[in-house]
Structure 1
Amino acid sequence: MNQPRILAFTGYQKFLIAILALLQFTVILDFMVLSPLGDILMKTLNMTPSGFGLVVSSYAFSAGASGILAAGFADKYDRKKLLLFFYVGFIAGTFFCAMANSFEMLLAARIITGLFGGVIGSISMAIVADLFAINQRGRVMGFIQMAFAASQVLGIPIGLYFANLWGWHAVFLMIVLLAILIGIAVLLRMQPVTKHLALQSDDNAFRHLWNALANKTYQTGYLAVAFLSIGGFMLMPFGSAYLINNIHLQQAQLPLIFLVSGLSSIIIMPVIGRLSDRVNKFWLFTGGSMLAIVMVIIYTNIPPIPLWEVAVINVIMFMGIMSRMIPANILSSGLPDMKDRGAYMSITSSLQQMAGGVAAVGAGLIVTQAGKSSPLAHYNVLGYVVSIAFLACIYFVYRMNELVTKRSREASIVVSTEPADSPPLVITD
């Protein structure tokens, strides 16, 4: 069987990959940093596990709501302008987080941040799908998803250092300053992304949203992507509290855990991305899912063990989880037509955030803690629930893979039946 042709990147595409990765770095860090700060925040602001779960899920629910509201308009404007609009709002929300001094203020700030930050990922995915062929997207997403690793290698350890030195507020101020610089680079260097505007046939934003929601092909993608977020939203919010109170690590040891996991992810992500451009994406996803299931069950059931063992388990677990995310997102990007791409990406992002919000609330209800320094109870139950969700997700990704394969086959037939004197068609989906 012929291997897909690997296309090289232009200089501008390389810049675009870098700037989108930096954007994702700040958005992911803003969410990820809550987990290592969880123990500090619960003790400083007198939050229970259910209260902290609400803080985490508030971002997800507001992001989900804004994604649905933005979906109808997502294909009506230059994607660069939309990206800048929501990124400015994200910066403002993160600044409000830095100014919060109570549970209620932090909760409100997280809602504002989610309203804007939750849409940025979907806009970025639409830009990637517009400007990169499907056999480039694995490498593109591999690099962009390195933002997840970079947030662990650089962002979280530095953030925790600032938190220990100047308080947890300093972490969000650090994100604000970095995001302002990235926003200026987007404004000055990024070109407009408007090719999709020529394909629009419906001026009614709500009808456009409804058509995207009602499309049965797209609905498979919605379900698959929604299930992808459940594991992270259930396990991560209580990760630091679990390691400190159950595994008996020290707060000062947490940066090393994130550093090791992040460094390994920096190596793994490009490899997974390149593999996604070369091998069957569904089988890569399935292999990653099975590895993740095994490691999640181990992780949520371990007794107090040495630091190096915790680090090894984390590295292997993240390897499985990342092997799921990249191929699933590539398959999802191959489902929508270009004219629906912004709406589709906004809806998938919204459903993913909402599913994650439900997962975070559910995790907060499952996990209990007798006192501020007591071990978390029932954390292992989360591992079993996450494993079941991983298994269900395999089915939906299988259905999505079948639809994308069928679409690619039909596109190939169209190209092969074009008359010899017809202009060449460029297939990017």
Structure 2
Amino acid sequence: MGPWLVPLVLALFTFGTADFVVAGILRELAESLGTSEAAAGQLVTVYSIVYAVSAPLAAVATTRVPRRKLAGYAMLLFIAGNVVAAMAPTYEVLLVSRVVSAIAAAAVTPMCFGAAGTLPPEGQRGKALGMLSGGIMLAQLLGVPLGTWFGGMWGWQASFWMCVVLGVAVLVTMFALLPDLELPPAMGLRDRLAPVTRGPVLRGLSAMMLLSAGSMMMMTYIAPISDAASSVGTNGIAVLFIAAGLAGLVATQVGGTASDKLGPLRTVATGAGILVAAMVGLTVSVAWGSAPLWVLIGLVMVMAFGIGMLNPPLAVWLLSRAGSSGNEVMALNASVMYLGTSLGGVLGGTLLALSGPGALPVLAVVETLLVVLLVVTAERRSAGTGEDAPAAGAADEPAAAPSRAH
């Protein structure tokens, strides 16, 4: 791993912080702009939806733009969007600034994943992608609490000024540390999108969406689940979130390294097994109703560890089948992660209202098994048809990503 990885991780940390920091300053922001907390919460939703839609469009539209030039323009746009947000006099202006910031982030993120999946030697690509996933996890563990603290100390505008500073840091480090990245080979739009339309890649993307939906569902509704299992109070919930963040941060590194050493498929199976075990434990705890807090902390940490282990090998697997369309596939990967996040909130809320908190871990088990089924069947299909398949005998070896950086 070289210094080029620093701006990539910092970029993912910055974009994740900018997305979710609104949640920590919701009340102050709503009061200042004269709107409801529900309307203020839509600032997160709009950012996520715009990001999900923009990522694949930006990937296709910027195919022939030099990577560092693309990163420079996009980061300037991201910085400008957050400057406007910090100075926004009305809710409407703030909403537009969120759209601008999301478009900028969507243009850079696929490039980050493509570079991390192609610049390192083959035996370290999973580790690099794991570190990028760790940047996203660190945003929730450190970036959002820090932004919330700034907002509480100096007003909600300070949270967006923090994002401006982070954006400047990304821009500077990208030009200082990121090497020139080769453009993908010139080819028509149909050829570039061909891998995306094939069964293996579509199943891999579906697996990533299901994983995102299940993980967000469990984290969003961890409070009612914990209350049903052990009547956990606010302080206990805070401890659970911190424990989950730490476990997830470690797991992304373990998952990336394991993907390099064991291969993506074995790593996915291992992470899925860990996650299912945690879900079974949570289901039993909810049925018990008197589980000690330390038991819940342990189960939540195991759950977060299983989730964190699954992200890097899925990204490695997708890149190994993307060929010269790695940028487009990674853009869609980012999109389905955000769509899965939204889907998880809706499914979890509906199931919670209909069947209670005990049903959520059960649904998470079903989603996890579907993730494994999708990846396994995608691997068999690609091996059987020869489409986007790795070299013979490499089906369960560390996957080789494309030879060019995107």
Shorter-chain TM-score tier? 0.7 to 0.9
Q: Distance in 2 between matches of 1:244 and 1:120?
A: 40
Report the secondary structure of 2:390's partner residue: helix
Among candidates 329, 335, 338, match of residue 344 of structure 1: 329
Could you list the runs of 5+ residues in structure 1 that have no partner in the other structure? Answer: 1-8, 369-375, 413-425
Tell me whether 1:62 sits opposite 2:44 in the alignment: no
Report matched runs for 1:180-259 at 5 Å.
180-196=168-184, 199-202=185-188, 205=189, 207=190, 210-237=193-220, 247-250=232-235, 254=238, 257-259=240-242
Among candidates 47, 57, 74, match of residue 37 of structure 2: 47
Q: Distance in 2 between matches of 1:84 and 1:138?
A: 26
Go from structure 1 to structure 2 and tell me whether the alpha carbon gap of 1:319 and 1:355 turns closer, same or farther (over 3 Å shift).
closer
Go from structure 1 to structure 2 and tell me whether the alpha carbon gap of 1:294 and 1:98 turns closer, same or farther (over 3 Å shift).
farther
Percent identity of paired positions between Structure 1 and Structure 2: 20
Go from structure 1 to structure 2 and tell me whether the alpha carbon gap of 1:106 and 1:292 turns closer, same or farther (over 3 Å shift).
farther
Specify the alignment match of 1:86 in structure 2: 74
Tell me whether 1:408 sits opposite 2:368 in the alignment: no
CA contact (8 A) 1:261 1:315 kept: yes
CA contact (8 A) 2:209 2:337 kept: yes
Specify the alignment match of 2:145 in structure 1: 157
Specify the alignment match of 2:398 in structure 1: none
Report matched runs for 1:8-157 at 5 Å.
9=1, 14-34=2-22, 46-48=36-38, 54-99=42-87, 107-157=95-145
Tell me whether 1:329 sits opposite 2:315 in the alignment: yes
Specify the alignment match of 1:371 in structure 2: none
Could you list the runs of 5+ residues in structure 2 that have no partner in the other structure? Answer: 395-400
TM-score by length of structure 1 reads: 0.74
Deviates more, 1:328-337 or 1:78-87: 78-87
Go from structure 1 to structure 2 and tell me whether the alpha carbon gap of 1:66 and 1:278 turns closer, same or farther (over 3 Å shift).
same
Among candidates 292, 313, 319, match of residue 305 of structure 2: 319
Deviates more, 1:132-141 or 1:98-107: 98-107
Cα deviation per residue 1:51-103 (whole Å; 9 max; x = unaligned)? 67754432232112112322323432222222333333333344455456776
Report the secondary structure of 1:351's partner residue: helix
Specify the alignment match of 2:397 in structure 1: none
Report the secondary structure of 2:167's partner residue: helix
Q: Distance in 2 between matches of 1:277 and 1:395?
A: 21
1:173 deviates by: 2.4
1:330 deviates by: 1.0
Tell me whether 1:170 sits opposite 2:169 in the alignment: no
Deviates more, 1:153-162 or 1:23-32: 153-162
Report the secondary structure of 2:110's partner residue: helix
Cα deviation per residue 1:89-148 (whole Å; 9 max; x = unaligned)? 333344455456776665544443332323432221111233234422111122222213
Tell me whether 1:292 sits opposite 2:270 in the alignment: no
Tell me whether 1:279 sits opposite 2:267 in the alignment: no
Tell me whether 1:387 sits opposite 2:365 in the alignment: yes
Q: Distance in 2 between matches of 1:378 and 1:96?
A: 42
Specify the alignment match of 2:343 in structure 1: 358
Specify the alignment match of 1:6 in structure 2: none
Go from structure 1 to structure 2 and tell me whether the alpha carbon gap of 1:220 and 1:105 turns closer, same or farther (over 3 Å shift).
same
1:26 deviates by: 1.1
Go from structure 1 to structure 2 and tell me whether the alpha carbon gap of 1:80 and 1:307 turns closer, same or farther (over 3 Å shift).
farther
CA contact (8 A) 2:4 2:179 kept: no
CA contact (8 A) 1:86 1:117 kept: yes
CA contact (8 A) 2:4 2:177 kept: no
Go from structure 1 to structure 2 and tell me whether the alpha carbon gap of 1:262 and 1:213 turns closer, same or farther (over 3 Å shift).
closer
CA contact (8 A) 2:249 2:308 kept: no
CA contact (8 A) 2:16 2:136 kept: yes
CA contact (8 A) 1:118 1:353 kept: no
1:277 deviates by: 0.9
1:226 deviates by: 2.6
Cα deviation per residue 1:350-409 (whole Å; 9 max; x = unaligned)? 2333343333344455667xxxxxxx9945544443332222111112134446776322
Go from structure 1 to structure 2 and tell me whether the alpha carbon gap of 1:404 and 1:160 turns closer, same or farther (over 3 Å shift).
farther
CA contact (8 A) 1:35 1:240 kept: no
Go from structure 1 to structure 2 and tell me whether the alpha carbon gap of 1:83 and 1:366 turns closer, same or farther (over 3 Å shift).
farther
Go from structure 1 to structure 2 and tell me whether the alpha carbon gap of 1:261 and 1:40 turns closer, same or farther (over 3 Å shift).
farther
CA contact (8 A) 1:247 1:305 kept: no
Cα deviation per residue 1:161-207 (whole Å; 9 max; x = unaligned)? 324333444333222212212212212332221252xx2132xx5x4
Count of matched residue pairs:
387
Specify the alignment match of 2:167 in structure 1: 179
Q: Distance in 2 between matches of 1:102 and 1:232?
A: 34
